[in-house]
Amino acid sequence: MCLAACGNGARVDAGDVASADSVPVDGSAADAGGDALAADGGAGITIPDPGNGVAEWIVPGTSPAMMAADMSTPDTAFPVGVVRSSPGYLQAWSGPNGDAFFVFRTGPMFTDFRVAGVHGVPTGDPDFIHVHDGAGLVFGPEIMPVTSTPSSGRWTLEADHVYVLEIHFPGGTFF
């Protein structure tokens, strides 16, 4: 694939990343039914089902306008499938708001999730990469990373659980 060979897109490796700098959310904002609440205390944002297929991190499509509409909010997150290892490559458009969301389920034995080397074309590094809880298919609190930088991170996750990966570039970009 030319994108991988030409350096466009984001290379994601399971290599070292820098120390943690992200602020955790404690997840205490939940209603009696256990659903996550929005930051303002309202109802949570429903996210798509990630599906049960083999994980696919390369979002199809070539139009920036199409990609921005497809995954620029948690409720329009790209359904990745079941993740059994960290992604080796991510490719998508972030929306005009700068956000790109991927929803995935961890495999039955997978708990060490890593993302490294996300870069926008031509914008460079994202502002941040976050992982959010997706229990009950509701966009939940941010999961505290083990380590993180603006373009990489490592998280300890629960096996067989839904999560949302959020990547933010100011003004949007292809990555």
Closest CA to 87 of 108, 73, 102, 74: 102
Using CA atoms, how far apart are residues 67 and 61, in angstroms rounded to an integer? 7
pLDDT at 37 (0 to 100)? 44
Domain annotation covers residue 174: no
Domain annotation covers residue 31: no
Using CA atoms, how far apart are residues 54 and 81, in angstroms rounded to an integer? 6
Number of domains in the chain: 1
pLDDT at 60 (0 to 100)? 74
Using CA atoms, how far apart are residues 4 and 1, in angstroms rounded to an integer? 6
What amino acid occupies position 58? Answer: I
Domain annotation covers residue 147: yes
pLDDT (tens digit per residue) in 119-153: 888 778 899 999 999 999 999 999 999 999 998 99
Domain annotation covers residue 24: no
Domain annotation covers residue 81: yes
Task: Let me know if 82 is exposed, middle or buried by CB neighbors in 10 A (0-12, 13-18, 19+).
Answer: middle
pTM of the full structure? 0.74
pLDDT at 3 (0 to 100)? 33
Are the CB atoms for 165 and 129 separated by under 8 Å?
A: yes
Using CA atoms, how far apart are residues 16 and 21, in angstroms rounded to an integer? 15
Domain that holds residue 137: 11-19+43-168
Domain annotation covers residue 32: no
Are the CB atoms for 100 and 72 separated by under 8 Å?
A: yes
Domain annotation covers residue 37: no
Identify the segments of the chain with pLDDT beneath 50.
1-41
Task: Let me know if 164 is exposed, middle or buried by CB neighbors in 10 A (0-12, 13-18, 19+).
Answer: buried
